């Protein structure tokens, strides 16, 4: 008979549930009626940290609701895994940035943060974990690219600190990858900035005229992106204050 390596008690209303690992699956034991033998059930879920959250938040509350007709969900902040908090973060993040920025950042998280940290409990992520993660990424990506992936993870943890889910941000305790190589254009770094020299700008303006020349001059003088210029309307420009208000972009 397999031994249970992990065991945890969870209290809901008048019930006490014991969650334990057996055959690499989460099992549940509880007393539906006092004085009667306990009931034992398998959740069918692999014994991982993220599945433990599902057992606590979904399976046990549904059992309590079935037995009593009412449910009490008490989620402790130490139960949160990275993936769960990231989902909360991106709900808010979506309304704060442009759609293409949200899509890009979500992709960075899903492709390069979630596979490494998704199942890990948020409060158990340590600086050493961040350092190992960065070093692993640096084997396949440029320093500037790794900084982008780190940046979105940094924001997720900062949001957790702000909401008192964790006490500190472990990413801020680890030095950011330094750019030690000369920046060159790569397909996986399309968002990096590669400014023209003064001579190149002068050549561009000399070789263009009309609408295109005005377009290039506006980008050069203001730092606006092409999509922001295309999305401009006359109402966005205050000629008296000599200001251009940017509210949107076109991708």
Give me the pLDDT at residue 140, please.
93
What tokens appear for 121 in the block? Answer: 């409990």
Give me the pLDDT at residue 81, please.
84
Helical pair 143-162 and 99-112, crossing angle rounded to 10 deg: 100
Three-state DSSP at 8 gives strand
Convert 99-109 to b/e letters by CB count within 10 Å (16 or more is b). eeeeebbbebb
Give me the pLDDT at residue 176, please.
86
Give me the pLDDT at residue 71, please.
61
Give me the pLDDT at residue 72, please.
58
Per-state percent for the chain, helix, strand, coil, to nearest 5: 50, 15, 35
Distance of CA 110 to the CA centre of its chain: 8
Q: Topology of domain 82-189, per CATH?
A: DNA polymerase; domain 1 (1.10.150)
Give me the pLDDT at residue 204, please.
87
What tokens appear for 88 in the block? Answer: 């909360």
Give me the pLDDT at residue 5, please.
55
Give me the pLDDT at residue 2, please.
43
Mean pLDDT (10-residue bins), the chain, 251 residues: 61 83 91 81 86 81 82 59 88 88 94 92 92 94 91 93 89 79 44 68 88 88 86 86 80 72
CA-CA distance, 243 to 245, in Å (whole number)? 6
What tokens appear for 63 in the block? Answer: 């059992």
Q: What are 202-211's contacts with CB under 8 Å, separation 24+?
A: none
């Amino acid at each position: 008979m397999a031994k249970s390596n992990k065991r945890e008690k969870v209290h809901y209303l008048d019930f006490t549930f014991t969650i334990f690992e057996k055959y690499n699956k989460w099992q549940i034991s509880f007393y539906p009626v006092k004085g009667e033998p306990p009931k034992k059930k398998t959740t069918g879920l692999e014994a991982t940290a993220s599945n433990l959250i599902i057992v606590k938040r979904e399976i046990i509350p549904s059992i309590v609701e079935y037995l009593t007709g009412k449910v009490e969900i008490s989620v402790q902040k130490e139960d949160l895994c990275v993936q769960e908090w990231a989902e909360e973060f991106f709900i808010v993040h979506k309304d704060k940035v442009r759609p293409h920025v949200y899509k890009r950042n979500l992709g960075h998280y899903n492709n390069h943060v979630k596979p490494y940290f998704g199942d890990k409990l948020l409060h158990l992520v340590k600086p050493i974990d961040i350092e190992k993660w960065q070093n692993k990424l640096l084997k396949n990506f440029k320093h500037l690219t790794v900084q982008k992936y780190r940046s979105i993870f940094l924001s997720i943890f900062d949001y957790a600190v702000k909401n008192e889910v964790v006490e500190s941000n472990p990413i801020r305790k680890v030095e950011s990858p330094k750019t030690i190589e000369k920046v060159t254009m790569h397909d996986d770094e399309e968002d990096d900035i590669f400014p023209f020299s003064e001579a190149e700008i002068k050549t561009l303006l000399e070789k263009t005229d009309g609408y295109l020349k005005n377009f290039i001059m506006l980008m050069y003088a203001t730092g606006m992106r092409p999509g922001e210029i295309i999305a401009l309307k006359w109402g966005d420009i205050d000629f008296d204050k000599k200001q251009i208000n940017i509210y949107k972009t076109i991708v």
